[in-house]
Each structure stands twice: as structure tokens, then as C-alpha cells.
């Protein structure tokens, strides 16, 4: 099973916001830090705001922040909200016609059990569990570890300009 880029980027966005609770963050800065296109991040921001995970403030000094305490944001709930299709096999999907093997195959029940356990495991963790522990953050500098590249870079931020607001 592989989660979509939307879920990956949603988690990155939530982690970033959770690491900067003292201020509003902008789409431009998060896109720059994580190497995500701004239009893609705008769609994700909109989706997370509609689901109530983040709140956005429009205008010159606008941005976004978590709508809840990180300890109240279940990873399983975020995955359920951001994944369009969690069907591990085609016969689990809502858009799939009745399977010709119905009544002769036990695979669907096994896969559903695996999915249920996967989501239950994620439900046992919150955003607070995946935020960096004991690492002080200043509002002007942050060290970012690249997941795929296994590299580190230091990114400095200045006050958001008008073009960096949501």
C-alpha cells in the first residue's frame, strides 16, 4: 500500500505548522522548504482548512496555523481525510462492480483487516508524536532534513512579503 503525494505533503505541512506555533506560516515558505509547488500546496492547504485541521488568514499579514493542538490531530484521521481511495484491492473499492469471486474468495476480508489494523495503528499516534522533540526553533531559522536525499540544509526566513501570503 502506498499513500499519495497529497497525504505526504499534508503531513509535511502539518509538521511544519506544528513546529512554528508562534507565528503564521505562508504557502511560499513551506513550498520553498519542502520543494513542493505552490499551486499544489494551495490545493492541499484548502483541503486541510476545509477539514478543520488548519486555519487560514487572508491578507497582507495572513498565513496559516494549526486549528488544534498537535496532540489532538490523529494521524489516522488525517490519512482518511487526504486519501481518496484506501481500497487495497479492487473489490474493496466503492466504484468496482460486484466481484465474480464473491462467496469463493477470502481475500477481501483479509485485506480489509490489514487496512483496519494499519489505520488503527495510525490512530494511536498524533501530530505531536512526529514533531521533532527537544529541538528549539527560532522563527527565523530551521534545519530541514530531506527525506529522499538524506541531506540537511539550513533555511532562513524573513518576514513574509506581500507575494508570500495565502
CA distance 42 to 37: 9
Residue 74 CA to chain centroid, in angstroms?
11
Class for domain 5-73+126-164, per CATH? mainly alpha
Phi, psi of 27 (to 5 degrees): -60, -45
pLDDT digits (tens, 9 = 90+) for 45-81: 999 999 999 999 999 899 999 999 999 999 999 999 9
Query: Does the reported pTM lie above 0.85?
Result: no
Domain layout of the chain by residue ranges: 5-73+126-164, 86-125
pLDDT digits (tens, 9 = 90+) for 78-90: 999 999 888 887 7
Amino acid at each position: 500500500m502506498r499513500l499519495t503525494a497529497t497525504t505526504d505533503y499534508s503531513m509535511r505541512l502539518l509538521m511544519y505548522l506544528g513546529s512554528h506555533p508562534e507565528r503564521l506560516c505562508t504557502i511560499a515558505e513551506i513550498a520553498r522548504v519542502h520543494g513542493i509547488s505552490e499551486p499544489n500546496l494551495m490545493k492541499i492547504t484548502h483541503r486541510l482548512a476545509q477539514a478543520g485541521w488548519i486555519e487560514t488568514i487572508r491578507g497582507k499579514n495572513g498565513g496559516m496555523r494549526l486549528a488544534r493542538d498537535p496532540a489532538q490531530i490523529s494521524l489516522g484521521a488525517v490519512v482518511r481525510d487526504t486519501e481518496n481511495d484506501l481500497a487495497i484491492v479492487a473489490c474493496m473499492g466503492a466504484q468496482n462492480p460486484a466481484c465474480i469471486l464473491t462467496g469463493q474468495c477470502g481475500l477481501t476480508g483479509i485485506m480489509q483487516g490489514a487496512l483496519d489494523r494499519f489505520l488503527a495503528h495510525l490512530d494511536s499516534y498524533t501530530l505531536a508524536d512526529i514533531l521533532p522533540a527537544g529541538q528549539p526553533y527560532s522563527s527565523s531559522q530551521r534545519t530541514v532534513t530531506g527525506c529522499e536525499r538524506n541531506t540537511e540544509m539550513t533555511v532562513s526566513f524573513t518576514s513574509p512579503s506581500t507575494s508570500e501570503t495565502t
